[in-house]
A and B are shown apart, each in its own frame.
Chain A
């Protein structure tokens, strides 16, 4: 036990004295949270919209005002003919053009059907969709108001509710994603690099010629990084709650416990890498390319897994991040209890046991290759 604590103490010295790893450990979560929170947002705000109004009456004016006042749009251009539409899109001045036909108010009051046209720049399909939806919603609202006094024989009224995330905040999606990615990166990479460093520096040679059992070496190397990763989780959660206003709906204890499990999963992956390679560069390369890329793609954080071809969907089940991401979303966003994440938890436990067993089996008690 004394040996273990001496080892942990030594490991903390390594981390504290190596500015690079310290920056990665503390800086990375902060930078990623701030980036995703304030810079890289998928929310659409203040999109430029151009108006081509052939009626210029009270109704179109009201509508344009409403659109301009909403947080989603800024009316930045009035067009005068259809020929100008191409031009503003080409220059990238607007994302959307709204076209009112002639006699808009007149015809509307006479119960005639009137069309408005929405033209969007779909070179970015997601944004195009979102802006169209927002604009349609504003127009629909207006229509409902106009119709209020009249009795329509058949009308389907829609009432939509956005569950779990009524304000459609993107932080509900990326906070779990960032937690997943950072744990994968730090847990696997830092552990594997730190063990391989002992091999590269030759200190492993001395540790091997000591009464210390190999499994103790592995555990003592992993524990400090477990603590550091756990601190990172707490740091991320604090930032999520106090800076990004994202509440934790479910049980905090459950969330932390599941995070600890996932940290152990990534650490065992790191151990597995480290017993198989002999240079820090290879360890770093494997953790970045072979771990981070699939984690990014298959976690469901950026790309919905349901939309992938079947072989990729099957493959995604092998990636630990997918399960942790779904656990975090369930607890943090939906506020679900443990019974809803039992399956994911068991899968993570099984993966951890597998990685650890292989790592310990493959750990060499000497320098034989």
Chain B
């Protein structure tokens, strides 16, 4: 059974001038932890706002927990939890006051649903008298999650919850989402960090308002059959430009110290590449075949989508 169902949603801004979402369809199963992955400006927030009834799509329809996002607006607002991308709690209220306020707004009390937030709340409880504006990024996110959970939502929408949070807090945050999933809450989470894709049951890759692929992370990567080379050298920037200028190069992107290269001829003519680089007087050049990761796959899908247009 699907908890979120999106059918051919299109959304434009400024009277049709800016296309934010282009004919998107998506199903999220009940109890699933679903990741919406894409760079800034891909349309993630727009999709979240349509699903949380904050925006109305130009075309198409969507349901959340079987309720239409336009017709059943007030019913949806009772059963979803929403954590916007920007920290949106009262900065001049303390942790305790924020939590109590949002519990009351959703016609419940902190005590009633404390079991849901307990293991998150205990981490910030020592600071419960502190004003929300004075919390660290990680604590803010935990508080925001508590506030979004306090009314025991059926579906949880988390828009870039880990943006601007340190790596340790990010990991903790995803551990918390795992535990919430065990309680049967459907979670739709968006993130610009590709490495977080592995924490989701399934992911949708989204770019420029279009969905590139929807599947489990493993399937998406295994569908990527391109033969990839990692090329390392001493002069990183000149190496990148020289490889890009090489006639047999299809794509070349920098990943940390390495350049991930796809050749038009596959892996057969690697020797020619190393000779070309030797001619260009590059030192310490290492070339080795590698398995594509999610980022390589995203770039591949993105380029394919752009070429298709």
Q: Which residues of A contact B (CB under 8 A)?
A: 2-3, 6-7, 10, 13-14, 17-18, 201-203, 205-212, 365-368
A211 in contact with B77 (CB, 8 Å): yes
| Cβ of B34 under 8 Å from chain A | no
**Supplied contacts A206-B147, A209-B53, A209-B80, 15 more A-B pairs, CB within 8 Å:** A3-B107, A6-B101, A10-B97, A13-B97, A18-B92, A201-B88, A202-B88, A203-B88, A205-B82, A206-B84, A209-B52, A209-B77, A210-B77, A365-B73, A366-B56
Chain B residue, CB-CB nearest to A220: B105
B100 in contact with A6 (CB, 8 Å): yes
User: How far is the CB of B133 from the nearest CB of chain A, in Å?
Assistant: 10
- Bound-state Cα–Cα, A206 to B78, Å: 12
From B54, B73, B88, B92, A14 is in contact (CB under 8 Å) with: B92
Asked whether A17 and B102 contact (CB < 8 A) given A206-B82, A209-B52, A366-B53, the answer is: no
| Cβ of B49 under 8 Å from chain A | yes
From A6, A201, A367, B49 is in contact (CB under 8 Å) with: A367
| Cβ of B74 under 8 Å from chain A | yes
B interface residues, how many (CB within 8 angstroms): 31
B77 in contact with A367 (CB, 8 Å): no
Q: Which residues of B contact A (CB under 8 A)?
A: 49, 52-56, 73-74, 77-78, 80, 82, 84, 86-93, 97, 100-102, 104-107, 131, 147
Which residues of B have CB within 8 Å of A3? 104-105, 107
From B80, B93, B104, B106, A13 is in contact (CB under 8 Å) with: B93
Chain B residue, CB-CB nearest to A4: B104
The 3 closest A-B pairs by CB, nearest first: A202-B88, A6-B104, A209-B82
From B56, B74, B90, B147, A211 is in contact (CB under 8 Å) with: B74
Chain A residue, CB-CB nearest to B79: A211
Chain A residue, CB-CB nearest to B103: A6
A205 in contact with B54 (CB, 8 Å): yes
Asked whether A202 and B84 contact (CB < 8 A) given A3-B105, A14-B92, the answer is: yes
Listed by A's residue number, 24 A-B pairs whose Cβ atoms lie within 8 Å are A2-B107, A3-B104, A3-B107, A6-B105, A7-B101, A7-B105, A13-B93, A14-B90, A14-B92, A14-B93, A17-B92, A202-B88, A205-B82, A206-B82, A206-B102, A208-B53, A209-B52, A209-B54, A209-B80, A210-B77, A211-B105, A211-B106, A366-B53, A367-B54
